[in-house]
């Protein structure tokens, strides 16, 4: 595992890094805006030791209800998040919003099994879980998780394009995104504080993982920048206060993959050559680079060879 830290630019980011380290030391949530709470996941591969607590998750409190945004990678993580909610408010959890179907974001959902709570996701979320759910469970069980850790709840609310949820004097705008990181990515915009939760449409510090369409992902990133926001919560890594700050590293990485793979394809280079050579100078910018970069190159090569 590559543990080189990315280059951090300023004192503000260093302060956020200290908050991040505190959140990793114990299960903790930070109020990042009025009524908006975030728990940072650790920058590690999923394991029984970290309970699958590797993604950013959190919740938003309105006057009447609470909405959870992603639930972590096991029931235990979801239960920890639920306890934090109960420490902060007596209001019921009305919605659990899943930003996409990757297991580190969804397997905590069973901690919110209540007649009052509805599971919300992209129109393609359920189909993705049908196709991959057993694979994800088998993978986690091999890591030492129990069946109870990995129970899922049925999706009740489907987001076709956009949907507004009312938490009581607090509107959330949910936006279904075309195939990008996955084919079921969902944005959550809290209109009261102009805080946007991107799910894994945005990775920071930790290398992005391509599981959809790399060209579509870049288009979605262009679309993101039109939203007027104060805070940007990525699926992994530190919050940002501007799109320029948030998107720069990921944009550079994806564009480099595309340009170098196209160049290699024009020279009739093989996928093996691509994995060995493409964008290796990006290693110093990303955690977990060696765990995911080769697979990213393979996916981009396979997609672009049919252009």
Instruction: Tell me the per-residue pLDDT of 144-197, one tens digit each, with 9 for 90 and over.
Output: 999 999 999 999 999 999 999 999 999 999 999 999 999 999 999 999 999 999
Q: Is residue 59 part of a domain?
A: yes
CB atoms within 10 A of CB 159: 23
**Confidence class of residue 80 from pLDDT cuts 50, 70 and 90?**
very high
The reported pLDDT for the residue numbered 40 is 97
pLDDT greater than 50 at residue 5: no
Across all residues in the chain, what is the average pLDDT? Answer: 93
Residue with tokens 């009447």: 64
Q: Is residue 57 part of a domain?
A: yes
Q: Is residue 30 part of a domain?
A: yes
The reported pLDDT for the residue numbered 3 is 42
Say how many domains are in the chain: 1
The reported pLDDT for the residue numbered 26 is 74
Instruction: Tell me the per-residue pLDDT of 85-94, one tens digit each, with 9 for 90 and over.
Output: 999 999 999 9
User: Mean pLDDT across the stretch 20-43?
Assistant: 84
| 119 three-state secondary structure | strand
Q: At what angle do helices 243-266 and 289-304 cross, to 10 degrees?
A: 60
Q: Is residue 62 part of a domain?
A: yes
**Sheet of strand 231-236, all strands in order from the earlier edge strand to the far edge:** 162-166, 171-176, 186-190, 195-203, 231-236
Instruction: Tell me the per-residue pLDDT of 275-285, one tens digit each, with 9 for 90 and over.
Output: 999 999 999 99
Question: Where residue 133 sits, what CATH number does that domain have?
Answer: 3.60.15.10
| Element of type H or E holding 190 | strand 186-190
Q: Is residue 262 part of a domain?
A: no
**Confidence class of residue 2 from pLDDT cuts 50, 70 and 90?**
very low
Q: Is residue 254 part of a domain?
A: no
**Confidence class of residue 261 from pLDDT cuts 50, 70 and 90?**
very high
pLDDT greater than 50 at residue 135: yes
**DSSP bridge pairs for 118:** 95
Q: Is residue 67 part of a domain?
A: yes
| Cβ-Cβ contacts under 8 Å for 1 (sequence gap 6 or more) | 44, 45, 288, 290, 291
Compute CA distances 60 → 44, 63, 184, whole Å: 26, 10, 22
The reported pLDDT for the residue numbered 89 is 98
Q: Which of 115, 41, 111 is nearest to 82 (CA)?
A: 111
| Cβ-Cβ contacts under 8 Å for 132 (sequence gap 6 or more) | 101
pLDDT greater than 50 at residue 74: yes
Q: Can you give the residue range of the structural domain that contains 232?
A: 11-245
Cα–Cα distance for residue pair 131/100, rounded to 1 Å: 14
Q: Exposure of 185 by Cβ count < 10 A (0-12 exposed, 13-18 middle, 19+ buried)?
A: buried
Q: Is residue 148 part of a domain?
A: yes
Cα–Cα distance for residue pair 194/171, rounded to 1 Å: 11
**Confidence class of residue 24 from pLDDT cuts 50, 70 and 90?**
very low
Instruction: Tell me the per-residue pLDDT of 221-252, one tens digit each, with 9 for 90 and over.
Output: 999 999 999 999 999 999 999 999 999 999 99
CA max distance for the chain = 62
User: Mean pLDDT across the stretch 71-96?
Assistant: 98
User: Mean pLDDT across the stretch 124-152?
Assistant: 96
């Amino acid at each position: 595992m590559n543990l080189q830290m990315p280059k951090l630019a300023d004192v503000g980011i260093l302060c956020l890094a200290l908050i991040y380290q505190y959140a990793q030391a114990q299960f903790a949530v930070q109020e990042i805006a009025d009524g908006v709470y975030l728990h940072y996941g650790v920058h590690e591969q999923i394991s029984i030791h970290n309970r699958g607590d590797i993604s950013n998750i959190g919740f938003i409190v309105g006057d009447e209800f609470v909405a959870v945004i992603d639930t972590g990678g096991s029931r235990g993580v979801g239960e920890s998040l639920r306890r934090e909610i109960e420490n902060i408010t007596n209001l019921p959890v009305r919605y659990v919003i899943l930003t996409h179907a990757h297991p580190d974001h969804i397997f905590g959902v069973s901690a919110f099994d209540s007649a009052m709570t509805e599971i919300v996701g992209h129109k393609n979320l359920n189909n993705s879980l049908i196709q991959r759910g057993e694979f994800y469970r088998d993978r986690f069980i091999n890591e030492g998780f129990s069946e109870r850790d990995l129970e899922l709840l049925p999706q009740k609310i489907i987001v076709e394009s956009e949907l507004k949820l009312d938490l009581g004097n607090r509107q959330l705008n949910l936006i279904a995104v075309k195939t990008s990181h996955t084919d079921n990515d969902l944005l959550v915009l809290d209109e009261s504080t102009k805080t946007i939760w991107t799910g894994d449409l945005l990775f920071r510090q930790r290398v992005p993982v391509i599981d959809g369409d790399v060209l579509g992902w870049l288009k979605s990133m262009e679309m993101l920048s039109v939203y007027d926001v104060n805070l940007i919560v990525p699926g992994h890594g530190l919050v940002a206060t501007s799109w320029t700050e948030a998107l720069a590293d990921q944009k550079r990485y994806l564009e480099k993959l595309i340009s170098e793979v196209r160049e290699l394809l024009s020279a009739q280079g093989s996928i093996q050559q691509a994995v060995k050579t493409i964008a290796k100078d990006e290693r110093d910018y990303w955690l977990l680079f060696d765990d995911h970069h080769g697979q990213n190159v393979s996916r981009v090569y396979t997609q672009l060879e049919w252009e």
